[in-house]
Structure formats: structure tokens, C-alpha cells
Chains A and B, each alone.
Chain A
Amino acid sequence: MASSSPRHISLSVLSTITLLLWTEFAHCNLNRRPNDALDTDFSVPLEHSFEIDDEPIFRRRGSLELRAGRESGVTISQSQLSEEDRNTLKEVAAVDGLYRIRVPRVSLQADRQTEKQADGYLTAFVKACALVESHLSDVITLHTDVTGYLIGVSIVTIPGTCRGLEVEDEVDLESFNTTLTVMAPVNAPMPETALFIERLEQEMEKKEKNPQEQKSFFAKYWMYIVPLVLFLMMSGAQDQSGGGAGGGAANGGGR
């Protein structure tokens, strides 16, 4: 249940908007202040379906507990698979069927459940064989929009492959080993003008401090270039007196 840490990050992102709305609600919430403790535990059903004929019939898999207040976050609580379910799951896996999950469309802010009534569900799927072969270890991600409203759910298993391995041990299919994460939109970066200007200024300053840097290439390295040119000219002259063909090339280099 490593769900709390990412939740904090996302909340800080959302805080501006949610705070704005909270201030509006604070007015009517004033009377109910003592009841805050009651609001904290709001649970949303997490349902799953795996059928041989692939007609989805959703049953309860567990529930997502939304906590409000300062330690807001989402945790998952789920029961073990019954023997009947285990067998069905294995059969579905054998015929390459799908394992689906769904959650209702709600807001992840536990305090704001009264605002909007859930209408419809968000669904996702994974191949049943992948779930079986991963021994029921899955990662469920809840995606929210800027207001904290659920917009999508995704499920992946680790590993995600279907190799056709048989899972003999019944115990491995008893309970889910689920990692729940919440993903809220990240703020896309703006063009970094401030930093760029700062850097430019720093460079300017450096140049002013160190006038040596401003000198041109030739001004700095004349002591190396001039002897080299001289040497080339000298050697060229010598060659020319010798009448070799290389003299021309050396002369050209010296020019």
C-alpha cells in the first residue's frame, strides 16, 4: 500500500483550485465542523469481472478508502479470492480472456462527495493470464483531472507477459498484492526566461571582471601563431631553393 506519498505531491499541485472551492464551502460547513471526522472515511467500491464468455458481470473486489483532511489520500482494502473465483480466473486465463476492473466516477476529495453524483464508471482491463502469472500482483493507477475528479483508471501486472506458465500453487492466487497510485496532471513548464537572463547576466559580469576573456582568438594566441607561420615560411623558402614540388604547398600554407 504505497499510496500515500504520490498523493501528497498531487495534492500540492491541486491545492490552488481546491482551496478556492473550499473557501466557498467553508461557509456552510461551519455548523458541521465537529462532524469532520465522519466525512473522512468515504469509500468507493472497486469492482472486477472475469467471465469465460467475456460478458462483463462486475462483482465487488474491494474498496478504495478516501480520507479527507490533512492526511488525505487513498488506500485500498480488498478481500481474498474465493476458491470458486480462483478457478474461474484460471479458466479465463486459459482461454485468453480479460480481467476487467471498474470504479465509479467520483471526486477523490472525500470532502466534496456531495457536490457531484457519480454517473457511470471508468473501466480498464488486463489479460487474465497476465494476472494469474504475476500471482495477482498488480498496479492500479487512478488518474484525476485538475479538480481532483477521477477521469481514468489503469491496471497493469508486473511482469506483464503471458508466457503460458501454469500457476500450481493455489495460495498465490488467494490475495491481491496491489500497489495503488494516484496520478494527477503535472504542471507543464513555462519558458524559463528568468533563469536564462540570470545566466546571461552572470556571464556578462564574469566578462567584465576578467577582461582577458574578451580578447579575440588571435590576440590571445599570437605568440604561438607567429612562430608557426614564420617557421612554415622559412621551410618553404628552403624547399623552393631545393626545387622540390612540396615547396609550393608549404608556401601556400605560409600565406
Chain B
Amino acid sequence: MSWLKYGFAVFLYLLQYTDAVFEDQVGKFDWRQQYVGNVRFAFFDTHSQASKKLLVATEKNIFASLNSRTGELFWRHVDKTGPEGNIDTLLVHGQDAVVVVGNGRVMRCWETNIGGLNWEVVLDTGSFQAAAFVGVQDFVKYVAVVKKSAISFHYLSNGHQKWVENLPDSDTVQYQTVYSDGQEEVLVLGVVPNSHIVVVAYNIEDGEIMKQISVEAPWMSSLEESCVVVGAGILLCVDPITVSLYTLPLYSDQRTEMNQILLQSLDLDVAPGFQPVLTATQPNPARAPLTSFFLQLGPEHHLLLQLKDGIITTLRDFKPSRLAAFATSGEKTVAGVMTPKNETACSINLFTVDTGRRLLDTTVIYHLEPNGGKPSKLYIQAFLKKDDSVGYRAMVQTEDFALTFLQQPGRVVWSREEALAEVVTMEMVDLPLTGTQAELEGEFGKKADGLLAMVLKRLSSQLILLQAWIAHLWKLFYDARKPRNQVKNEITIETLSRDEFNLQKMMVMVTASGKLFGIDSRSGSILWKHYLENIQPNSAFKLMVQRTTAHFPHPPQCTLLVKDKETGLASLHVFNPIFGKKSQISLPALPRPILQSLLLPLMDQDYGKILLLIDDQYKVTAFPSNKNVLQQLQESASSIYFYLVDSSQGRLSGFRLRKDLSTELIWEVVIPAEVQKIVEVKGKRPNEHVHSQGRVMGDRSVLYKYLNPNLLAVVTESTDTHQERSFVGIFLIDGVTGRIIHEAVQRKARGPVHFVHSENWVVYEYWNIKARRVEFSVLELFEGMELYNSTAFSSLDRPHPPQVLQQSYIFPSPISTLEATLTEKGITSRHLLVGLPSGGILSLPKMYLDPRRPEVITEQSREENLIPYAPELPIRTEWFVNYNQTVSRVRGIYTAPSGLESTCLVVAYGLDIYQTRVYPSKQFDVLKDDYDYVLISSVLLGLFFATMISKRLAEVKLLNRAWR
């Protein structure tokens, strides 16, 4: 008995997966891309001429430094998501970058070279308004932070607070900006909307109020939007209603109203409906701003103006012009203006700020992406050349969150696609066959047209194959003469073709901004991109592969359903997933909100799967919609069922399609929304295969799995959040008949619930309130010892409810997302891929989540290889598939089968994108990289010759014996 136990322990030890990668395999099958999100603030480091740093703060609450020569990340600080980590402002001076985070909660100062934290201070409560550097005698010493009712002064060197003072009348006055130009006072500007402006001057040294003036401004609603400070402390505001500019010298005490300058008097006009925008620049916080400023009067109209001695002069009129920006290098400040050249290109030019003269040889041509967004912001990095002329590089930010870095005369140095920081959904599509492979395929596809034609066809295709082979050989020969590093297989759209084991696929990624990407899964390079304009920010996306690459010569086809969450109105975008081209197919009109979409396994005559869209009147629209499709739908209408979920009322309802494409309600389940709320409903993945129908038990009998393809897993959370009464509900409902197969309640638990529904099991994860820990639970469904109807499964004909087994485990870490591996035929054992908030991706064998794990080990359970029950699931370091490649803020994991049964392709996306392969049962169908071919072939040959020789010798011996 005891040695049996020992043997079992050895067996268990052998079971421990040593899946970890070897050092030389790092980056061989996997890649990671790091993103920062849409840029809100960007500063070039002007500290020294040779600096390569670009500091950015983004909408994703990230503060990062990019290498401006390559576009790669130097370092990145990922803050909390949501408003708590929101970056209010970014100020850069020299090597210090000051960031105010979370509506004025915390102020941090970072060292820009290595990204180290200089200091961090927690600010007093109060909503953040503005922050600025304050300089004294040409030297920046302090940071001033204005909150709703107070102003505080901090030393830039250590963050210590110098003084804090209340702002007068802060309940009526909205203080919005702070201004300083190196003088003794710092000015805080506030506004009482549609009444007056308040200017309060504080002494820098002790915070004493030096003076306080109020100036009539009945037309003003917001200071921030309409005013800037130019020259030596002159407030300049623009009023779109009277179409005029107002000036106010901030340091004079006598003025009680602003000086109005009509734009008409300058021969200027505002484009109708446009709010004019003023842009000024203050190159050094310890000195006054420049007297020149930009005034934008229309979407394509900028002016460079100058305010001197109360008089405004036009330096240059830029019409048309898209964007304008100031840039400073040393003592020189220049203005960069982007003007549209033609439909596809813009040119950027530099101008001096004091005269508006164009600088020679400063043109940069910027080519717009064919399917990209419009440029939205321009950043100029100016530098002084050896001959003291100004050179520059430009960074263009576009509406689709892309950054493009340009160098004279128009070379794109790098570009970053920050839209990929928020991938919403994705699919992996097989690459097409090469031309020659397709030629052979086509031969079989075509109908026979005579013997001779067939023979000729065969001969010609063989000839093409021969030609391709010779070309391949020639290329090999040619490449062999070149040095190693020059032979680099550049992947372009033209050279894309399926590899032997279908390991390289096209990743079609949909991002929240509405930009679609086609990414090569092997290298991670972006092969195509397509920006969909007019996408509402809160849209829901559903990506479907209507036609795969398997139906040559028909091109593959993907359909993206974009649904506005508020109105429910949807639109379709049909495209070729390999090339990203929009399809010319006529799209159905969708005037009504769409409730549900359904991709049928039925195909039209062009091998495209039929997509059904159900609107709010339960009418069905088919896409594509031609005679053949409608006929097919009529024939199979009685077997097409679908379900709708209304989570606000807790209603699940089932419908059946009628022949005239109307629908009828056939079942209804209502889970009262007052008690519990439906969080998520998940079916099974349609492309999943289950290899074994049952499990062989210890006594050699078979326990059959309940494999209902129509099963839905519905997860609910209780509305009562009290510790004792809160629960998570799991319902397993048949999507055709509406029959509730199983109902379970996890008491004293709450969400967020992550779950996977596959084969005959559901794994879910929840938070146990009482024990304060994360727990996993697994439900497995079995038909029992005999199968009701082994030939086919019909939801309508399964009268006996399945046996349900369930077990729960403690998991020692919170999780962000959960997915299961998927392989071609489903023979390989399954693993669960768990995305952890720490950035790790854990490959947890499903074997550990098996409700049949016995509490007491018996002979039979040992026979079945069941692991004895232990309440805690282990986390082994070798289970992390991404070793040290941390994936920040994982939101989803996508799995796809490859051509190899052992291999499953995995893409984890969140802030970063990580692609790898996993082998849940190890690589049983692949020889290792370091497989010793020489040894095995020499052994084989040796054995072969040994047998030959010994045979000969044996014959001789026999002959000799016979003669004896």
C-alpha cells in the first residue's frame, strides 16, 4: 500500500508541467507591444540639444517617456484607471516633470531621464483648477496649484509646501488660471460667469494678498476657453458673439473694464458657428510670454498676430491652415503651421514669431493615411543647427490616436498606433494560400470539362509548381551569398501566405476609437489599418467572420457590427480581413435598433455564412439577402431559434424563425430584477471541438458528457449587497427550449464574476465576501452512464436532466480575465488562461478544476488520474506563459487553434498586446528545436549496416557449419 502511494507521488511529480520557455526561446514565438493610449499632453525635452526624450501624459492615466528617434518607450508609469488616476496636468521644466493626478489628489515630480520619482505630495482636498511654475529672477523655484478655494505653493526641489492661502469669495468666483512671469507677485484669475473677472495678486514670499481687482466682463462664461496672457501681463480674450478681442493689463490697478478691439477693424471674420481659439506661448515660466499669438477663426484658418502697445497687428494670415503650434529652442521661438496641400498631403512650414517671415528650407510634407483620421494636433521640436539656423522635427497626432514623427523633408521616422491601447474585440483569420497552392486547389474545385482540358490544366499547374520551386531554389542560392543579417524576410501584404502548420494568422483587432487593424501574428507588424469615422465613443462592437479563407477564389469576409449603446442603432462594416479593404457588397438598411445578431452555420452560394439581425420589433434582416439565402432560410426556418436578453427586466426570451422571416415568441424566463441582476450571458464558442464523448472511469465504464451546444450560462448578482445576503447566481439554460437545466447560488459572494463556458463545464470566479478571498468554482455536466441518443443532439429531445457536479477552490490572487485554450480537434487537454492584475498570464491546467477530484483517494480515482482534492489552487511560476513580459491591464484573452493539434495561439490584450503559443499537453506532435537529427540518422544507418553485415556473417557461418 505504501509503495503504491509513493508511486502515485512520483506520478504526480511527473505530471507537473515544465512548460517554461528556455532562455534561447525568449521572443521566438511571442512578442509584446506596449502602448500608452491617446496623448493628452506632450513635451519634447528641450533641456539639451541631443536629448531624445518625448514626455507624454495620456487619457489612459499613463505618464511615459518615448524615444523621439525610434518611438520606443524609455519608461512608463501606469497609474490607477478611472478618475482617481486621471492626469490633470503635466508641467515640464528642465529635468523635472510635475504631474497632478486625480483631480488634485496627488502631485508628483519625476526625473525625466530615468523616470525616477523625485517627490510626491498629497494635496489638500478640493477640485483642481490649474497649476503653473513660478519663477523668481529668471529661475524656476516653485509650483503653484490652484484649487477651487485655495492656492498652495510648493518648492520644485522637494515638494514641500511653502504656503497655502484661501481664495477670496471662492463660492461665487470660479478661479481658473494662475499666471506668473518672474515678478514678485503671482496672479490668480477667476471669473463670475456673465458678470466680471477677478484678479488676485499674491506675494510669492509669504502668500499675502497684494491687491485684488475686479473688471466688468458680462460676456464671459469661461476664462480658460477664451483667454490667454500675452506680452508683459496682458490678458487677451476673445468673444465670439460681438466678434471682438478684449485686452486687460493685469498689473495696472486703475482699469475697471476691458479694452475692446473689434475683429472687423482688423479686417477679420469668424467662420459661422466657430468658437475662436487663442494660443499664446511662454517659453520660460520665469519670463513674460511672447507678444505674438495665434488666433484660429475657422476650422482651416489661423492667424499669427502681435499685440504691442495695445495695438494688434497681423503678422501673417494662414488660409487655409489646419494646425499651428509654437516651439522654442534656446532663445529662439518659431511657429509651425500645417497647411493642406492636396487631398492626401499637407505641408508643414516654420515661421519666425516676431515678423511672421517664412524660414527657408523648412518644408515638411506630411502624407495623410488613406484610411486614417484627420490630424488633430501638431507638436514641433525645434533645434538650432551648427550655422545657427533653426531645424525641426514634427509630431502629428491624428483623430484615430496615431502619432507620426516626421523629419525634413518628410520622412516618417516612426509612428505609433495608440488606438491599440484599447482593443475591444478581435478575431484571428487564416492567411490565404499562395498563388500556386490556390492554383492546385482551384483545379479540384472546378467542374470537369473534358479529358483533354483536364490533362492540360493539370500539366499547366504542375509547370507553375516547378517554376515556383526553381524560383525558390534560386532565391535560396542568391540569399546564401549575402551576409546573414541582410537576409530578412520582410512581411508585406503581398508575401502573406499560410505556413505549413497554420501558425501564422491575421489578427483583426477592433479598437474602441473605431480603428481596425490587421496584424501579422508572427511578428506583430501592422499590415493594414482602417479608421471608421463617426463612431460614437460608447459603441459596442461585434466582429464576425462570415467567410473564411478556405473558399478560394472567394475572398475572405469579415463583418463588424457597430451598435450605438444609447440608441441601439447599428451599422455594418464589411471588409476583407487580409487586406483590410472595404467590401463593395450592398449593405441592408437598418432603420431600427438591433437587439441580437446571429451568424448561422448555413452558407449562401458564395460560401458566406448568413448573418441574421433581429430588430426591436422582432423582425429579422438577413445579410447577405438574395434569393438563394431566402430560400435556404425558408427551408430551415423551423430549426432556427434565437434568444434575447433584457437585463434591465431580467427577462430571457426565446424566439423561433418563421418562413416569412418574422418571429414568434416560444419561451420566456423572468429572473426578477429586484432580487438579482443578469450580469452576463455566454454560450459556447461555435468553433470548438470536443474529441471525447465521455470520461473513462476507474472501473472502465464511461461517464458521458452532457454536450449541449445550445446551452447558455447566465450569471447574476444579487441587488442586496449586504455581506450575509449577497449572492452570485448561476443558471444554465437551454437556448432553444428555455429549459433551466441547473440553478445554483453561491452565497456570501459578489462579483465581478469572470467565467468560461466550454465543452460540458463552466468555470466561474467570484469574490467571497465572508472569507475575503477569490474563489473558483467549476460545474460539470454529465448525462450519466448511458447516452440518451448518441447519434445527434437535439435540445427538443433530451427529457432527462443531466447530472451536475460542482466543486470550489481558493485562488490566491485576484484576476482580470479568464479564457480557455482551444485546439483544432479538441484532443489536447484544456488549460485555463488567467490574466492577473499583476500582468502575468497564468496557464492553469483544467485538471485542477475538476469536480470529481476525490477527497479520499481510492483505487479507482487513482486509476483515473484524478488529483486528490485540495482547497487551494496552486500558482506555479512556470505556469506563467509570459515569463517576464508583463502585460499591463489585461482586459481580454483571445485563443485560436492552429494547424497543430498541440498548439493554441494566445493573444492577451489590454494596455499592451502580447501574443504567444501555448502547448497544454506539451508538443506531442512536433520535434524539438534541438532535436538531434544527426544522431538518430547515424544510429539508424549504423543499425542498418550492422544488420547487413551480421546477416552476411551469419550466412557464412551457416554455410561453414553445413560443410563441417
Hey, which bits of chain A sit against chain B, CB under 8 A? 17, 54, 96, 98, 100, 105, 120-127, 130, 139, 141, 143, 145-147, 149, 151-152, 154, 156-162, 183-193, 195-196, 199, 213, 217
Given contacts A125-B666, A154-B739, A188 and B799 within 8 Å (CB-CB): no
What would be 16 A-B contacts, judged by CB atoms less than 8 Å apart?
A: A124-B667, A125-B738, A126-B796, A146-B676, A152-B670, A152-B733, A152-B739, A156-B739, A183-B740, A183-B743, A186-B744, A187-B744, A188-B808, A190-B768, A195-B855, A196-B871
B638 touches A96 (CB 8 A): yes
Of B668, B730, B796, B869, which contacts A188 at CB under 8 A? Answer: B730
A145 touches B6 (CB 8 A): no
- In Å, the complex CA distance between A184 and B743 comes to 7
Q: How far is the CB of B713 from chain A (nearest CB, A)?
A: 13
B745 touches A188 (CB 8 A): yes
Q: How far is the CB of B703 from chain A (nearest CB, A)?
A: 20
Note all chain B residues with C-beta closer than 8 A to A151.
669-672, 740
A100 touches B806 (CB 8 A): no
Of A96, A121, A123, A188, which contacts B806 at CB under 8 A? Answer: A188
Note all chain A residues with C-beta closer than 8 A to B856.
199
* Chain B interface size range: 35 or more
- In Å, the complex CA distance between A126 and B807 comes to 33
B796 touches A127 (CB 8 A): yes
Q: How far is the CB of B485 from chain A (nearest CB, A)?
A: 46
Hey, which bits of chain B sit against chain A, CB under 8 A? 2, 6, 638, 664-672, 675-676, 725, 727, 729-730, 733, 737-740, 742-747, 768, 775, 777, 796-799, 806-810, 855-856, 869-872
- In Å, the complex CA distance between A196 and B745 comes to 23
Note all chain B residues with C-beta closer than 8 A to A188.
730, 744-747, 777, 806, 808
Q: How far is the CB of A143 from chain B (nearest CB, A)?
A: 5
Note all chain B residues with C-beta closer than 8 A to A157.
799
Note all chain A residues with C-beta closer than 8 A to B798.
156, 160
Q: How far is the CB of A104 from chain B (nearest CB, A)?
A: 11
Note all chain A residues with C-beta closer than 8 A to B667.
123-125
A185 touches B668 (CB 8 A): no
- In Å, the complex CA distance between A169 and B612 comes to 43
- In Å, the complex CA distance between A105 and B669 comes to 10
Chain A's closest residue to B725 (CB) is: A17
Q: How far is the CB of A181 from chain B (nearest CB, A)?
A: 10
Note all chain B residues with C-beta closer than 8 A to A159.
797, 799
A191 touches B809 (CB 8 A): yes
A145 touches B671 (CB 8 A): yes
Chain B's closest residue to A105 (CB) is: B670
Residue with the highest number of chain A CB atoms closer than 10 Å, among B638, B670, B809, B872: B670
Note all chain B residues with C-beta closer than 8 A to A147.
672, 675
Note all chain A residues with C-beta closer than 8 A to B872.
191
Q: How far is the CB of A128 from chain B (nearest CB, A)?
A: 12
A-B interface, 4 closest residue pairs, ranked by CB to CB distance from nearest: A152-B669, A154-B739, A185-B743, A160-B797
- In Å, the complex CA distance between A160 and B506 comes to 45
Note all chain B residues with C-beta closer than 8 A to A162.
797
Residue with the highest number of chain A CB atoms closer than 10 Å, among B740, B742, B810: B740
Told that A125-B737, A192-B855 touch, could you supply 14 new A-B pairs with CB distance under 8 A? A123-B667, A124-B737, A124-B738, A125-B666, A143-B669, A143-B740, A151-B740, A152-B670, A154-B737, A154-B739, A185-B729, A189-B807, A190-B768, A192-B808
- In Å, the complex CA distance between A21 and B737 comes to 34
- In Å, the complex CA distance between A187 and B743 comes to 9
Q: How far is the CB of B220 from chain A (nearest CB, A)?
A: 54
Chain A's closest residue to B724 (CB) is: A16
B670 touches A120 (CB 8 A): yes
B744 touches A149 (CB 8 A): no
A160 touches B737 (CB 8 A): no
B676 touches A145 (CB 8 A): yes
Note all chain B residues with C-beta closer than 8 A to A149.
672, 675
Chain B's closest residue to A192 (CB) is: B871
Note all chain B residues with C-beta closer than 8 A to A184.
743
B806 touches A156 (CB 8 A): no
- In Å, the complex CA distance between A124 and B738 comes to 7
- In Å, the complex CA distance between A149 and B259 comes to 73
- In Å, the complex CA distance between A156 and B708 comes to 16
- In Å, the complex CA distance between A147 and B638 comes to 37
Chain A's closest residue to B727 (CB) is: A146
Note all chain B residues with C-beta closer than 8 A to A105.
670
Of A100, A146, A193, which contacts B745 at CB under 8 A? Answer: A146
Of A139, A154, A161, which contacts B738 at CB under 8 A? Answer: A154
